[in-house]
C-alpha cells in the first residue's frame, strides 16, 4: 500500500521529533533497566544459569514470531495509535514480570509473562520506523540518525542506571519505574499529531 503524506513545515517536524525522542529515551532506558534487573533476579531467585537461558529464550523467540505480523499491522493501521498501544501494553507486562519476581512465582509463570511482554514489544520496531517516516518525511535521514543516537544513549545509560537501582532500590520500585518510563513513551507518542498518511491508511483499513 502506497500513501503520500501531506508535507509539514520543517519546524513542525523537528518539534514533533524532539518530543517523541524524549519519550523514546525514557522507554529505552526503562527497557535496559528491565532487562538487567530481570536477568539478575532470575539468577538470584533460581540460582541456575539454565533458568536465565530459558527466560531469555522466552524473551527472544517472540521477536521472530511477530516480525511479519507487526509489519502488516503497521502498514494497515495508524502508526501513532498502534505504537502508543504497544508501549502501553509493554508497560503493563513489565509490571506483570515484576509482580512474578516479587511474589517468587514459578519459572513457568515468569516465562509466560516474559513471553507475552515480548510478543508486544517485538512489534515496536516496524511501527516506530514507519511512524518516523510519517512524522518527519522531509528530514527522514535526520530522524533515523537521531533515533539511532537515542537508541545508543539508552544502551549506555540504561544498564548503568539498572546497576545503581539494584543497589539502592527495592525490586518493586525498580519495575514500577521501568513501567512508568515505558508508559511515558506511550503518552508522548499518543500526543503527537496524526499524519494525513496514517488517517488515510486507517480509513482504508476500516472500509476494506
Domains in the chain, start-ordered, CATH in brackets?
12-201 (1.20.1250.20)
Q: How far apart are CA 199 and CA 108, in angstroms?
A: 41
Closest CA to 192 of 137, 150, 134: 134
pLDDT for the residue 16: 84
- pLDDT, position 79: 87
Q: What is the pLDDT of residue 172?
A: 93
Spell out the residues 6+ positions from residue 127 whose beta carbon is closer than 8 angstroms to its own: 70, 73, 74, 79, 82, 83, 86
Model pLDDT, residue 4: 43
Q: What is the DSSP string of 129-159?
A: HHHHHHHSGGGHHHHHHHHHHHHHHHHHHHH
pLDDT in tens, 57-107: 999 999 889 988 888 888 888 888 999 999 999 999 999 999 999 999 999
Residues of the chain with pLDDT under 50: 1-4, 6, 204-205
Amino acid at each position: 500500500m502506497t500513501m503520500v503524506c501531506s508535507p509539514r513545515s520543517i519546524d513542525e517536524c523537528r518539534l514533533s521529533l524532539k518530543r517523541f525522542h524524549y519519550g523514546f529515551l525514557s522507554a529505552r532506558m526503562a527497557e535496559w533497566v528491565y532487562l538487567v534487573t530481570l536477568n539478575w533476579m532470575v539468577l538470584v531467585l533460581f540460582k541456575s544459569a539454565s533458568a536465565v537461558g530459558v527466560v531469555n529464550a522466552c524473551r527472544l523467540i517472540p521477536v521472530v514470531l511477530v516480525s511479519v505480523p507487526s509489519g502488516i499491522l503497521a502498514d494497515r493501521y495508524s502508526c501513532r495509535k498502534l505504537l502508543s498501544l504497544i508501549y502501553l501494553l509493554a508497560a503493563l507486562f513489565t509490571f506483570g514480570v515484576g509482580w512474578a519476581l516479587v511474589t517468587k512465582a514459578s519459572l513457568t509463570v515468569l516465562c509466560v509473562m516474559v513471553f507475552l511482554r515480548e510478543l508486544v514489544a517485538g512489534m515496536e520496531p516496524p511501527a516506530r520506523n514507519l511512524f518516523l517516516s510519517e512524522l518527519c518525511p522531509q528530514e527522514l535521514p535526520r530522524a533515523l540518525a537521531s533515533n539511532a543516537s537515542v537508541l545508543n544513549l539508552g544502551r549506555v545509560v540504561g544498564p548503568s542506571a539498572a546497576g545503581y537501582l539494584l543497589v539502592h532500590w527495592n525490586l518493586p520500585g525498580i519495575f514500577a519505574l521501568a513501567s512508568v518510563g515505558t508508559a511515558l513513551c506511550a503518552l508522548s507518542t499518543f500526543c503527537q499529531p496524526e499524519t494525513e498518511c496514517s488517517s488515510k491508511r486507517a480509513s482504508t483499513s476500516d472500509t476494506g
